[in-house]
Structure 1
Amino acid sequence: MNLLSILLQAAGGANQWSGILMMVVVVAIFYFFMIRPQQKKQKEIQKSREALKKGDKVITAGGIYGKIKEISDNYMSIEIAEGVNIRVDKTSIFASAEDAQQK
């Protein structure tokens, strides 16, 4: 074997590792710029949902404004007009009305 063939084989191995390294870098970029911020936002929304109490004004994901009348484990009863109550899933509460007005 001559020196040229040895160098070409060594360079081929380096290309393989550089491809793997590039994939790791791409995954890290996706994690830090897309996945991690979304997880932080979800935790913030969850904290705000847990802090809601009876009498708070809220907005549902469908855009319905109302006042919380009852809170259960899985749902909330919201008064959207005088004497008109609807029951919505807790996860469909988008934000409190005060938070939405500040944005």
Structure 2
Amino acid sequence: MNLISLAHAQAAAPQAGPESTLVSLLPIVVMFVILYFVMIRPQMRRQKEVKAMIEALAKGDEVVTTGGLVGRVAKVGDNYIQLEIADKLEVQVQRSAVSMVLPKGTIKSA
């Protein structure tokens, strides 16, 4: 009989209030805020920089593609660029394939 009265006493304990629920969700919210500032925000900034670099491509820029081709931009279109990789040898690549714009004079003419 003593055990039954203990069980009833435990069941009658006061329930957690709304502030307790808020405190238990606080670590999850803090983790999402940290995740945003550590991973998501820098990635969005990098994407903006890459997009600005690709939009700013102009004739005469020296670039490196994601495939490793190094050349000088000969012609710029909406989606594609003509890339001169050797004397009188041009290839057409997508603008999004450009990974880096090199400083002027990096490519030496042979």
Q: TM-score range by the shorter chain?
A: 0.7 to 0.9
Q: In 1, Cα distance between the equivalents of 2:13 and 2:79? A: 68
Question: Secondary structure at the residue paired with 1:5?
Answer: coil
Report the alpha carbon displacement of residue 21 of structure 1 after superposing the two structures with TM: 1.9
Return the match for 1:22 from 24, 27, 32.
27
User: Unaligned 5+ residue runs, structure 1?
Assistant: none
Aligned to 2:84: 79
Indicate whether 1:89 and 2:94 are aligned.
yes
- Alignment-mate amino acid for residue 72 of structure 1: G
Q: Is the contact made by 1:58 and 1:65 (CA closer than 8 Å) also made in structure 2? A: yes
Find the structure with the greater CA-based Rg: 2
CA RMSD in angstroms, aligned pairs only: 2.6
Cα shift at 1:12? 9.3
Contact 1:65 1:97 in 2 (8 A): no
Q: TM-score, normalised to structure 2's length?
A: 0.75
TM-score under structure 1 normalisation? 0.79
Compute the displacement of 1:10 (Å).
Answer: 2.3
Higher fraction of helix: 1
Shift of 1:64: 1.0
Report the Cα distance in structure 2 between the residues aligned to 1:13 and 1:24, rounded to whole angstroms: 15
Question: Could you say what secondary structure the match of 1:77 adopts?
Answer: strand
> Match of 1:28, as an amino acid?
V
Q: Which moved more, 1:58-67 or 1:90-99?
A: 90-99
Identity of aligned residues (%): 35
Q: Where does structure 2 lack aligned partners over 5 or more consecutive residues?
A: 1-7
User: How much does 1:20 deviate?
Assistant: 2.1
